[in-house]
Amino acid sequence: MLCKLFHRFHITHFFLFFFQFFLHLFHFVLNSIIIFPFNVIHQLHLPLQLRDFQFQLLFNIKFLL
């Protein structure tokens, strides 16, 4: 019974790790495809403070994920 429980826990842990990995991968792809070009395009039009705030917000979102 203990062995079965451990096995179940191991599988759950593995799936959790996999999910987290895919979440990071998806976020990285999303970041490079959508957010990065958007920042480059609008970089010259935005005031410096707003741009800094945007990058800080982006970093905070990344840190949370």
Q: pLDDT tens-digit profile of 19-59?
A: 888 888 887 777 776 666 666 656 555 555 555 666 666 67
pLDDT given at position 42: 61
Question: How wide is the angle at C-alpha 36 spanned by C-alphas 18 and 30, nearest 5°?
Answer: 25
pTM here is: 0.36
Placement of tokens 């800094």 in the chain: 52
- Kindly give, in sequence order, each residue whose CB lies less than 8 Å from that of residue 31, ignoring residues fewer than 6 positions away: 58, 62
Placement of tokens 């410096």 in the chain: 48
pLDDT given at position 16: 77
- Determine the residue type at 53: F
How far is C-alpha 28 from the geometric centre of its chain's CA atoms?
6
